[in-house]
A = this chain, B = another copy of it.
Amino acid sequence: MGNKQSPPDIVIGRLPIYLRALDILAKENQVVTSSYELGERLGISSAQIRKDLSHFGDFGKQGTGYQISYLIEQLRQILQINREWGVIIVGAGHVGQALANYRDFPDHGFKIIAIFDNDPAKIGTKIHDMTIQDMNSVPAVLREYNIKIAMLATPAEAAQEIVNMLVAHGVQSILNYAPINLTVPEGVQVQYIDPVGKLQHMAYYIRDGE
């Protein structure tokens, strides 16, 4: 980051959504797209898309649209995923195991390096070619692989203490599946995956009796 003036975080958060749509278009062998087409696919206005992208440069010509492969390459560079980041999973319960088996990480900038648990019955067993390691080994693995990203899938009670340890050993990004709000120092990012909260949010709108 340094002195770089960053666009709003909400704009950064939409770039992965654009990238996902562009990847699908590329798989469909399309070469050029427009903010209109992307907007249609995503339910986002074309003006919003153009404004968001304009924070980072001039990626298309008026009337000719965007070269898909070029825009993909640029967005990957902006998001710093034109490389592969090592990621660890802490917690080898059902959620941690599903993450270890999730096939969508490797093509999108991330490689699962290791998975950890503190349950002696789990330590030493295998998930998807990885051996579940003792929590005590976390610092050594973080150091060896220069890991900056962790996914947290522990019970809520254990989460904050583990996060403190991860941050002390250089982790800067935490994807938190534990149902609890985490406190982290400035410069560390946390994103939450909370299916219960999202279901509760949607329940507000349900019209029953239909």
Please report the C-alpha to C-alpha distance between residue A148 and residue B202 in the assembled complex, in whole angstroms. Answer: 10
Q: Are A195 and B17 in contact (CB-based, < 8 A)?
A: no
- Smallest distance from the beta carbon of A34 to chain B beta carbons, Å? 17
Query: What is the total number of copies of this protein in its complex?
Result: 2
Scan residues 1-37 of chain A and give those whose CB is less than 8 A from a CB of chain B. Answer: 1, 12-13, 15-17, 19-21, 24
Question: Which B residues are in CB contact (< 8 Å) with A146?
Answer: 208
The one of B85, B102, B181, B202 that contacts A94, using a Cβ cutoff of 8 Å = B102
Report the stretch among A45-53, A63-71, A118-126, A167-175 that lies at the interface. A167-175
Knowing A87-B199, A98-B98, A206-B173 touch, does A41 contact B191 (C-beta < 8 A)? no
**Minimum CB distance partner of A179 in chain B:** B104
> Which A residues are within 8 Å of any B CB, using their own CB?
1, 12-13, 15-17, 19-21, 24, 41-43, 78-81, 85, 87, 94-95, 97-99, 101-102, 104-105, 108-110, 146, 148-149, 151, 156, 170, 172-173, 175, 179-181, 183, 187, 189, 191, 193-208, 210
Kindly list the 10 A-B residue pairs having the minimum CB-CB distance in the complex, ordered from nearest.
Answer: A98-B98, A16-B197, A173-B202, A16-B200, A191-B198, A94-B101, A189-B202, A94-B98, A108-B196, A80-B203
